[in-house]
Amino acid sequence: MSGKVMDEADVRRALTRISHEILERDRGIEGVVLVGIADRGDDLARRIAAEVERIEGAAVPVGVLDITFYRDDIGLTTEAPEVHETRIPFDVSGKTVVLVDDVLYTGRTIRAAMDALMDLGRPRKIQLAVLVDRGHRELPIRADYVGKNVPTSRADDVRVQIRELDGQDAVVVEEP
Amino acid sequence: MNKHLLSMHDLTAEDVTRVLDTAASFREVGSRVIKKVPALRGRTVVNFFMENSTRTRISFELAAKRLSADVINFSAGGSSVSKGESLKDTALTLQAMGADAIVIRHSSSGSPLQLTRWVEGHVLNAGDGTHEHPTQGLLDLYTMREKLGRLEGLRVAIVGDVMHSRVARSLSFGLVKMGAEVTLVGPPTLIPPEAPEWGVHVGYDIDAVVPKLDVCYILRVQKERQRQEYFPSVREYARLFGLTRERAALLPEGSLVMHPGPMNRGIEIDSDVADLPTSVIEEQVTNGIAIRMALLYLLLGGSGEGEVA
């Protein structure tokens, strides 16, 4: 599969469905918080939060998590990985934390995100929502909510574009 | 980024911005209950302090520990240096022990550069003689940017013994690099003759400068570095160049008073002025930890071979 695999409407429908699934699985939003992984994951988390609020009529807290300091490849690259902001203005202890990211690939980012979350408190439960699952896991990690499964080869480049950063919503797969 | 941080000249304006932005993320880490991240797990940082220091050494130690690195503190007093071991042999010992980074404070200008010729790890200058103190300069830039929202166009006076001050050198170079307007103020005997080449203004009358400032940066009177008297008396210095309460009242609204510490209260700065809300001297210390974390992270975190899939 290559080219544009999701357009504006596909992304909107996927996020709407994920929002419904979160509400269904967690039986409302009591004790649920969304934490987006910077960058792009945080924008997606804010969109899901807006959708959940539209459906349920109650606000769900949103935080943004930078996982750079928890990466397993620090010191292996020639440039230190770029650092983003972490801003989680609530206590994650005892909460159901839904991690939100754009693409699920090797699972290493999610491993780092879970370690980072554990240092911030003791969540009751951690779930994972991703817009695209492209396969090729290197760790025993799976998503609870998936926008779209996109079969790819390892050499492919999967680009998630979102309005806030890229001016439009789309998921594009480029073959080498 | 260069492999070492010996001088402010090792950094481009983009590097400085990157260091300050990264430090902002580490400020957030410092506000958590668990103030530690695993970024430099398994790395060894040696604090090699051949000259007395409280805040810089503790700050570097805390910074390395908060990055999960192993820290070895090493000072002249309790080591073989007091038995007459040379800098080179000490450096080779540290090298043999596998130090990934060496933070050096030394009374001789240029010793960090010399160290880079003997060791393979990263060298960070924590103050060398009267040469430079780049981490102090960077934490000062961070504090100004955080408080005033920008560096470009800021009007900053650096007041006091510029001649013997490595802090003044690093800060001046950094401010000029970032587009600020710097004026050095002090007794003519304590302004280095080459100062105009740094791209700064020079003034001798603090009262003429103070009303037009965004930042008034007060340097410590360094009695330990003066081999001869550069001014007639401490009392005269305090009267002519000290930031008294009356002078501080002339500072524009919203401007900052800064000092690298340790302060001589009553000489270069009035005790009351040091405790005013415009004075951000304690925040400089807190920001110092974040800046040093950022530097260790950026230097050690980017020391690998290439891209990892």
Asked, for residue A78, whether it belongs to a domain, the answer is no
Average pLDDT over residues B87-107: 91
B162 with B186, same domain: the answer is: yes
Q: Which residue segment(s) compose the domain that A94 sits in? A: 3-72+83-174
Query: What is chain B's mean pLDDT, rounded?
Result: 91
Q: In this predicted structure, what is the pLDDT of residue A79?
A: 86
Average pLDDT over residues B267-280: 90
Domains in chain A, number: 1
Nearest CA in chain A to B35: A119
Quickly state the pLDDT bin for B302 (edges 50, 70, 90): confident
Q: In this predicted structure, what is the pLDDT of residue B228?
A: 64
Asked, for residue B171, whether it belongs to a domain, the answer is yes
SS3 (DSSP) at A98: strand
Report the 3 state secondary structure along chain B: CCCCECCHHHCCHHHHHHHHHHHHHHHHHHCCCCCCCCCCCCCEEEEEECCCCCHHHHHHHHHHHHCCCEEEEEECCCCHHHHCCCHHHHHHHHHHCCCCEEEEEECCCCHHHHHHCCCCCEEEEEEECCCECHHHHHHHHHHHHHHHCCCCCCEEEEECCCCCCHHHHHHHHHHHHCCCEEEEECCHHHCCCCHHHHCCEEECCHHHHHHHCCEEEECCCCHHHCCCCCCCCHHHHHHHHCECHHHHCCCCCCCEEECCCCCCECCCECHHHHCCCCECHHHHHHHHHHHHHHHHHHHHCCCCCCCCC
What angle, rounded to 10 degrees, do the helices at B13-30 and B55-66 form? 80
Residue B21 has pLDDT above 90, yes or no: yes
Which range is least confidently modeled, A3-12, A137-146, B141-150, B269-278?
A: B269-278
Asked, for residue A120, whether it belongs to a domain, the answer is yes
Asked, for residue B177, whether it belongs to a domain, the answer is yes
Q: Which of B15, B37, B44 to mutate to test the interface with A (most CBs of A within 10 A)?
A: B37
Residue B229 has pLDDT above 90, yes or no: no
Q: What is the CATH number of the domain that holds A139?
A: 3.40.50.2020
Domains in chain B, number: 2
Asked, for residue A146, whether it belongs to a domain, the answer is yes
Q: Which residue segment(s) compose the domain that B191 sits in? A: 134-280
B295 with B243, same domain: the answer is: no
Nearest CA in chain B to A69: B39
d(CA B246, CA B258): 17
Angle at A44 between CA A38 and CA A48, to 5 degrees: 135
B190 with B214, same domain: the answer is: yes
Contacts 24+ apart (CB under 8 A), A69-72: A69/A116, A69/B29, A69/B37, A69/B38, A69/B39, A69/B67, A69/B297, A70/A112, A70/A113, A70/A115, A70/A116, A70/B37, A70/B38, A70/B39, A71/A108, A71/A109, A71/A112, A71/B39, A72/A108, A72/A111, A72/A112
Contact A76 B305 (CB under 8 A): yes
Residue B85 has pLDDT above 80, yes or no: no
Give this complex's ipTM.
0.85
Residue B133 among the catalytic residues: yes
Q: In this predicted structure, what is the pLDDT of residue B29?
A: 92
Of A70, A77, A85, the CB nearest to B25: A85
Residue B55 has pLDDT above 70, yes or no: yes
B157 with B109, same domain: the answer is: no
Average pLDDT over residues B266-289: 91
Q: In this predicted structure, what is the pLDDT of residue B232?
A: 83
Residue B201 among the catalytic residues: no
Q: In this predicted structure, what is the pLDDT of residue A1?
A: 65
What pTM does this model have? Answer: 0.91
B43 with B149, same domain: the answer is: no
Residue B189 among the catalytic residues: no
Contact B38 A69 (CB under 8 A): yes
Residue B83 among the catalytic residues: yes
Q: In this predicted structure, what is the pLDDT of residue B225?
A: 59
B161 with B108, same domain: the answer is: no
Q: For residues B7 and B132, is the Cβ–Cβ distance under 8 A?
A: yes
B159 with B22, same domain: the answer is: no
- Give how far B276 is from chain A: nearest CA, Å: 30
Asked, for residue B115, whether it belongs to a domain, the answer is yes
Asked, for residue B3, whether it belongs to a domain, the answer is no
Tell me which of B80 and B135 has the higher pLDDT. B135
Share of chain B above pLDDT 70, in %: 94
Asked, for residue B2, whether it belongs to a domain, the answer is no
Average pLDDT over residues B83-101: 86
Residue B263 has pLDDT above 50, yes or no: yes
B101 with B165, same domain: the answer is: no
Tens of pLDDT along chain A (176 residues) come to 678 999 999 999 999 999 999 999 988 899 999 999 988 999 999 999 999 999 999 999 999 999 999 999 888 888 888 899 899 999 999 999 999 999 999 999 999 999 999 999 999 999 999 999 999 999 999 999 999 999 999 999 999 999 989 999 999 999 88
Q: In this predicted structure, what is the pLDDT of residue A12?
A: 96
B65 with B122, same domain: the answer is: yes
Asked, for residue B272, whether it belongs to a domain, the answer is yes
B192 with B77, same domain: the answer is: no
B247 with B291, same domain: the answer is: no
B182 with B296, same domain: the answer is: no
Q: In this predicted structure, what is the pLDDT of residue B309?
A: 46
Catalytically annotated residue among B55, B147, B201, B225:
B55
Contact A81 B22 (CB under 8 A): no
Average pLDDT over residues B169-181: 98
Q: What is the CATH number of the domain that holds B54?
A: 3.40.50.1370
Contact A69 B307 (CB under 8 A): no
Residue B279 has pLDDT above 80, yes or no: yes
Dihedral, CA of residue A129, residue A135, residue A141 and residue A147, to nearest 10: 10
Contact A78 B38 (CB under 8 A): no
